Each structure stands twice: as structure tokens, then as C-alpha cells.
Structure 1
Amino acid sequence: MAQDSLIPNTGAPNTNTDLTPRQVGLILFALTLGGFAIGTSEFASMGLMPNMVASLGVTEPQVGHLISAYALGVVVGAPLLAILGAGWTRKTLLLSLMGFYALGNLASALGPTYHSLLLFRFIAGLPHGAYFGVAALTAVAISPPHRRGRAVSIVMLGLTLAILIGNPLATWVGQLVDWRWIYAAVSMIAVATAVLLAVWLPAHVDGPKAKPLDELRAFNRLPVWQALGIGAIGFAGMFAVFSYLAPTMLEVTRVSAAWIPLGLVGFGVGGVIGNFAGGWLFDRFKLRGAWVVLAWALAMLLLFPLMAKWLPTLLLATVAIGLMGALGPILQSHLMDVAGDAQTLAAASHHAAFNTANALGPWLGGMAIVAGYGWTSTGYVGAATAVIGLLIYVWASKTAHAARALADEPPAPVACESS
């Protein structure tokens, strides 16, 4: 099967053949645990919003700004920390990022005022993208070449398990005790991750070293930007629906608030299934797997306004839309193939792109709702972003095809002048 890029993969897959399957499993577990901590912290504010409103004496939109501050931290921190840490070993960088994350969440737990919390949530978001990027590269480095997509999906599993288990559990515990304990618990999980990686991850699990300026030059390639564009826009539809699911269930489905956590769990179930499906799709179809996911998303998002009318079909819709999570492992793995010497920067920027989608989806959905199109208009908004994602995919495919054709073209004969 033809590759989607002529640029060789430099993620150093399968360079550590001396590792036993048990060692590989332990390393992947530690990397996944770090992802679980990050995902729980990222989404906890959504479920704990009423508690934070009452405790801080602010409004719901102001708590929403805390969520936006974290997302902004991800967007800023992903490329910045990846560039600053370009010359570090992966083990050193992972330990530093997890330590940074532990401190950011501990500060969030102790922040005395709303404005201090706003700052601390921004700081906590800074290492998010860089951690997932380096973790994905590490997982690929210890896995066989034909299982690269699966290795990335295992790392991303921590994020999807946070949606499925971490967020509902954090909401329940936060209602019983002070919400600050949730961020303190995330800090402890981050410390545990750092300890496990320090013990289990060998220092030689590394990739090619690159200088920051070299990474920036290698990063500035059209295939890289196309992959990031697919994620930043094509994935926005899931967040458009997810962000306004609670009022949709109350106002359209007309169920009690007790059903809302089950709807959120539906996204988590879909995300877990989609995560593994994405790894499988990439291992078999490379970037073409993104076309499958985006086409599925387009169909499900168009059906969402109809399915939202009845509880059974709504719950089915949340699972179906959550399957869009398959796009994550596909794009993360594809970036490793097209990033050249900018492996760390591109892998980290992938999460900046998805957090851009996290901001874009709710913003566009909110505009449609305010304009009077109703709560379920988020489905149509999401479908529109999926179409744009498909168009970027078509563009990326044509770019790759043209590059392959140019590389396969034999050199023109050189005319020799007779003396």
C-alpha cells in the first residue's frame, strides 16, 4: 500500500528491541496514566461548574473562561515547550512535563481567588500537548512498525478513559467534597506517573535530536499544516454537540437532569471505541482512515437534531458522535510520517489543533443557538465543520499524490553536445 507521504518517518519505531513485552506494557501503562490525569483535569471543570460557581461566587460563563484559559494554555504551551525541549531526551522531557503538570494542578487546587485560578488553569494547560506528543513518539519507539497506530491509540486511551470514567467520577466526588480536591488528586496522579516513568522507562528510548530552529524549519511544511487543519476544523463538530448536550437534553429531549451524566458517558464510550478504531484504521489505511471518520461524523451530526428528540436515540447519537475520537490516533500517527525532523513539535501541535477545535466548536454552536436556530443546531454546525475537514483531507491527498508522481518521474535526459 502506498504511503501518504514521501517524507520518511523519523519517529524511530521499534528501535528498542531489547525491551520485553512486559516492559513495553508497563511503559505504555505509565504513559496512559499520565493521559488519564490530563484528561480528567481538562474536563473536570465542566462537571464541577455548579460547585465552582457557588464556591467562587462567579457566574457560569466565568467558569467557562477557566475552561478556555486551560485550552489557551494547551495551544500556547504545545509548540513552545516542544521547541524548548527539542534537545532533551524523551525521558527527561516526559518527567519534566509531568512534574510541571503536577505543580499546575496543585496551584489550581490552592488558588484562593477566581483570578488566581484563571492564571493557574492557563499554566496547568501548558504541558498538555507536549506531553501527549512526546508520549506518542515514545510509544511508537518501543512498538513494532506495523503497530504504530495501535501504540498511539493506547496512549490516547488515557484521555478517552478520562471522559468515560474520570470526569463522571470527578463530578460525583466533587459534589461530596470540595471541588479543589479533584485538582489535588490529579496532581498526585501526575506525580505517580512521573515516578513510574522514572523507574520503567529506559534512558535510551529516544529519537533523533533536533535543534529548535531545525524543528521550526522542518515543521513549516504543507502536509503538516494540512493534518493540523483537519484536526482543528474537522473535529470541532464533536465539541459543538458535547458542550451543549446538557441543555439539549433538558430542553429538547425533555428528560430530568439525572440523565445528563449518562449522556456524557455515551461520548466516553464512543471515544474509547473510536480510539482503538483509529489505531486500526491508520495501521491499514494510513491517512485515508481520516476520510472514513469524517464521512461517518458528517452523517451522524446531520442526524443528531432528529435523534435528540427521544432519549434512546439521543444516547445512541452520543456514542456515534463520540466515535469521532478515531480521528486522533490517525492524525497523530500521520504527523509522525510527514513531520520529518520536527517530530516533537508536530506531535505536540496535534493537541494544540484539537484544543483549537475544542474552542471553535462551542463558539460556532453558541452563535447558532443565540441566532435562534435552537439547541440541536449544533449538529448542523458540526456537519459543516466536518465538510471543511473533508475538503482539507482531499487537498492533502492531492498534495501527496502530486509529490509521489513527481518523485516517480524519471529525470530528463541530458543532451550532450558534440565536440
Structure 2
Amino acid sequence: MPLALVALAIGAFGIGTTEFVIMGVLPQVADEFGVSIPTAGWLVSGYALGVVVGAPLLTVLGTKVSRKKMLMFLMGLFVVGNALSAVAPTFGLMLAGRIVASLAHGAFFGIGSVVAADLVAPEKKASAISLMFMGLTVANIVGVPGGTSIGHAAGWRVTFALVSALGVIGLLGLAKLVPETGRPRTPDVRSEFAAFRNVQVWLAMAMTVLGYGGVFAAITYITPMMTDVAGYTEGAVTWLLVLFGVGMFAGNLVGGRFADRALMPMLFTSLGALSLTLLAFTATAHNKVLAAITLTLIGALGFATVPPLQKWVLDQASAAPTLASAANIGAFNLGNALAAWLGGLVIAGGLGYTAPNWVGALLAATALLLSFLAAFLDRRNRSGSGPGQGQGQVQVQGQGRVVAAAGEPAVESASGTAGAAALGR
């Protein structure tokens, strides 16, 4: 395994910790600032929306420097944002700190996904992506529960101060382990945006928004759900988040391995099982044992969708994968923001803390339907009878071939994902 993947995983660990640890300390933050739980949920939604904006913006701006320098800059931004959250005197400044930290998230994972895919052989690209994302899943086993426990014992401000320090460690890891590739060639911005003419790229991002959004509908409000409904103590939430993280870790590995073998069947299975599990959580949340088991399954099934969805985008935008990859990371977080908002709405409407679970089930089921549509269109496209062969449409025909429409040059990538040529080297 290339050491650069370790560096990317270290950065992902820090980012994953700050993204998810807020769920474990949400009631404490709400109490200190005197806001309701649904209002405090904006610390989740605001972070997610910051990722949506920051992913494409910083990815485009970062094309003028080497990828190593850009990744280091993004981790520095992450450190500053979490430090601001730690000392924020008002809820507004706390939200601002979350947004500053979030701006680094999408571009880091977007650029990191392309770099990770290019470090290994074509048949191992999804596995390489999953190894990078392993840092995020490990964060949910170690970083998030640890941060939650510290937040309950010493205060949530200490948690965010330590997360900022964790970002410094990630920054040092990137400086030490990621090789300097030199300044990339000035990219063809038109080529990057041309990838978005492919309907499959939009379908993949829609699946991302709805599928992983289903997970966040439930997880955003997991602390009040487990304490007020399941009957756990506040301190037990730490260990419940460990179980969720263990599920994410396992699901990420399984998703990466099987996505390299059978991508769409993996998506069908994980999205279908996820929607059923979220629906069941509405009932199982009332029992301590069943709630813990269900929470673990949600983590596993939810993160089993990440490597196949990210690889699907890279495959469909193989001629210009960087911006599409970052945009798909933004799509994950757009789903997080949408789900957190919808979950807050049903709670504020008096439907109870379990109501976000059936909201999540509906979102995941819709993503499953879109995955069927994407597979159908892909089969038609491979047979040469699919729609969209007109001017300016980018199409994928067969494994690894991108054919531009009339009047535009064809580009071929031997791997079907992020080849060296596509990376601008």
C-alpha cells in the first residue's frame, strides 16, 4: 500500500472526527447557547452546505498549485475552523467556525479520491478509495466516541480544541508522506465541466444525496433518540457511536471490495438493505439491544455505498474526474444537510425523535430507484442505443472509454477511472 494512502487516511481521520463528533455533543452545545435541538442541528446542516460550496470552488482554485500543497492548505483551513469553533462566544460564530472547517472537506476528499485511484492498478481503484475513506470510518470508532466522551466530561469546547490539534497532526502527515508531484498543467476547465453533460454523473450525485442522506436523517439526532426513546444514559452514547463507527469501517471495506467486482449489484444491495433498516429503526429504537444492533447496521450499509458511488462518478467522468469527484463529495454533504433539515422539521412538528428514521428510509429508497435507472441507461448506452448522442453529450461506451459528441475530441482512459492523463500529469 503506498504511504501516500496513509497520509490521506490521516487527513480523513481528522475531517471525519469533526464532521460526526457534533452529533455526540449536540445537546450540550444547544444548552450553552440557549437554542433548541433542531436549531443546533444547523451546525450539521451548515457544515454540510459548506462542503457543497467549498468542494467545487476550492477544487477549481487549487488547480494552480500542486496537489500536495493544496491538500496541506485544506488541512490548514480545517485547523483554523475548528479552533474558531472551540472559542466561539456565540452560536453564530460557532456556526461560522463549522463552515470554515467544512470548506476543506469536499475538496480534500475529492482531490484525494483522484490521487488515491491513480496510485494503484486499475482493478484496485475502488479499494484504494476505500482505504483513504478508512480514515473517516476509523474516526467514528476512535475519534468521534473519544471526542464525545471528552465533551461530556470536560466540555464540548475541549473537544473542538483537540480536533484542531488533530488537524495539525494530519497536516504534518501530509507534509511527510505525500510525494510532491510538481505543479500540474493548467487544466482544461471546459473539459472538467463537460463531464456534467453526462446524465449518469447527475444520477450518481443524486443517488449520493439521497442514499447517504438517509443515514444522516437518523444519525444527526441520535443522541436525543437514544436517551429519550431507547432509554440509554447520555454517557452510553459514546459506545453507541463506537458501534456505528465499527459498522462504517466494515461497510467501507466490503463496499470497496465488491465495487471492484460488481459495482451496481453492490449498490442495489446496500441501498435496498439500508432503506429497510432505517424503516425498522423507527420500531427498534424503543429497545436498547435492538437499537444498538440497528445502529451498527445503518453504519455498515450506509458506508458500503460510498466506494461504489465515488467510483461510479469517476468512471462516468473519466476524461475529467477531479471536479466531478469533488462535486460528488459535496453531494454527500448536500444529502447530509437535506436530511438534517428534514429530520429537524419532523421533530419540530411533534412527530418525535424516531420520525427522522422513516424520512431516511424514504430518501434511501428513492436512491435505490435511481440506481435502477442508472443501470438501465448504462446498459442502453453500452449497446449503442442510449439517448444523449447529440452535440456536446459525453457518453461512456464500454469499460474505460469516453467518447465525446460530434465536434469534440474523443478521450480514452485505460482504466475507466482517474488515469494519469486525466489528472493532467
The match for 2:202 is 225
- The 1:219/1:205 distance shift into structure 2, 3 A limit, reads farther
The match for 1:416 is none
- Tell me how far 1:172 sits from its aligned partner: 1.8
- Residue 237 (structure 2) pairs with residue 257 (structure 1): no
1:138 and 1:205 in contact (8 A); partners too: no
The match for 1:149 is 126
Bigger drift between 146-155 and 336-345 goes to 336-345
- Residue 288 (structure 2) pairs with residue 311 (structure 1): yes
CA distance in 2, matches of 1:245, 1:209: 45
Higher relative contact order (CA 8 A, sep 6+): 1
CA distance in 1, matches of 2:169, 2:351: 47
The match for 2:78 is 101
CA distance in 2, matches of 1:244, 1:57: 17
2:38 and 2:348 in contact (8 A); partners too: no
The match for 2:392 is none
Match of 1:202 among 179, 187, 195: 179
- Residue 330 (structure 2) pairs with residue 332 (structure 1): no
Structure 2: stretches of 5+ with no match in the other structure:
385-396, 399-425
- Tell me how far 1:277 sits from its aligned partner: 0.9
- The 1:292/1:316 distance shift into structure 2, 3 A limit, reads same
The match for 1:358 is 336
Alignment: residue pair count: 385
- Residue 378 (structure 2) pairs with residue 400 (structure 1): yes
User: What are the superposed Cα offsets for residues 47-91 of structure 1, whole Å, 9 maximum, x if unpaired?
Assistant: 223443454455544433233222221111011111222343322
- The 1:209/1:278 distance shift into structure 2, 3 A limit, reads farther
CA distance in 2, matches of 1:141, 1:101: 25
The match for 1:114 is 91
CA distance in 2, matches of 1:208, 1:272: 36
The match for 1:72 is 49
The match for 1:49 is 26
Code of the residue aligned with 1:108 in structure 2: it is: S
2:71 and 2:108 in contact (8 A); partners too: yes
CA distance in 2, matches of 1:401, 1:386: 23
2:44 and 2:220 in contact (8 A); partners too: no
Code of the residue aligned with 1:195 in structure 2: it is: L
Q: Normalization by structure 1: what TM-score?
A: 0.84
Aligned-residue RMSD, C-alpha = 2.4
1:99 and 1:194 in contact (8 A); partners too: yes
Code of the residue aligned with 1:90 in structure 2: it is: R
1:219 and 1:342 in contact (8 A); partners too: no
CA distance in 1, matches of 2:24, 2:72: 29
- Tell me how far 1:203 sits from its aligned partner: 2.0
Q: Secondary structure at the match of 1:287?
A: helix
Code of the residue aligned with 2:366 in structure 1: it is: I
The match for 1:13 is none
- Tell me how far 1:171 sits from its aligned partner: 1.8
User: What are the superposed Cα offsets for residues 147-173 of structure 1, whole Å, 9 maximum, x if unpaired?
Assistant: 111111111111112222211211222
CA distance in 2, matches of 1:280, 1:208: 33
1:35 and 1:159 in contact (8 A); partners too: yes
The match for 1:346 is 324
- The 1:224/1:113 distance shift into structure 2, 3 A limit, reads same
Q: Secondary structure at the match of 2:17?
A: helix
CA distance in 1, matches of 2:309, 2:246: 20
User: What are the superposed Cα offsets for residues 281-328 of structure 1, whole Å, 9 maximum, x if unpaired?
Assistant: 211112332111111112212322332232111111111111111111
The match for 2:403 is none
- Tell me how far 1:250 sits from its aligned partner: 3.5
- The 1:115/1:137 distance shift into structure 2, 3 A limit, reads same
CA distance in 1, matches of 2:342, 2:357: 11
Code of the residue aligned with 1:289 in structure 2: it is: M
Provide the identity percentage. Answer: 37
2:11 and 2:167 in contact (8 A); partners too: yes
Code of the residue aligned with 2:367 in structure 1: it is: G
Code of the residue aligned with 2:252 in structure 1: it is: N
- Residue 111 (structure 2) pairs with residue 134 (structure 1): yes
Q: Normalization by structure 2: what TM-score?
A: 0.83
Structure 1: stretches of 5+ with no match in the other structure:
1-20, 409-419
2:126 and 2:307 in contact (8 A); partners too: yes
- Residue 361 (structure 2) pairs with residue 383 (structure 1): yes
1:219 and 1:345 in contact (8 A); partners too: no
Following TM superposition, where does structure 1 have runs of at least 4 consecutive aligned residues deviating by more than 6 angstroms? 205-208
1:97 and 1:131 in contact (8 A); partners too: yes
Code of the residue aligned with 1:45 in structure 2: it is: I
Bigger drift between 325-334 and 108-117 goes to 108-117
- Residue 15 (structure 2) pairs with residue 38 (structure 1): yes
CA distance in 2, matches of 1:59, 1:307: 26
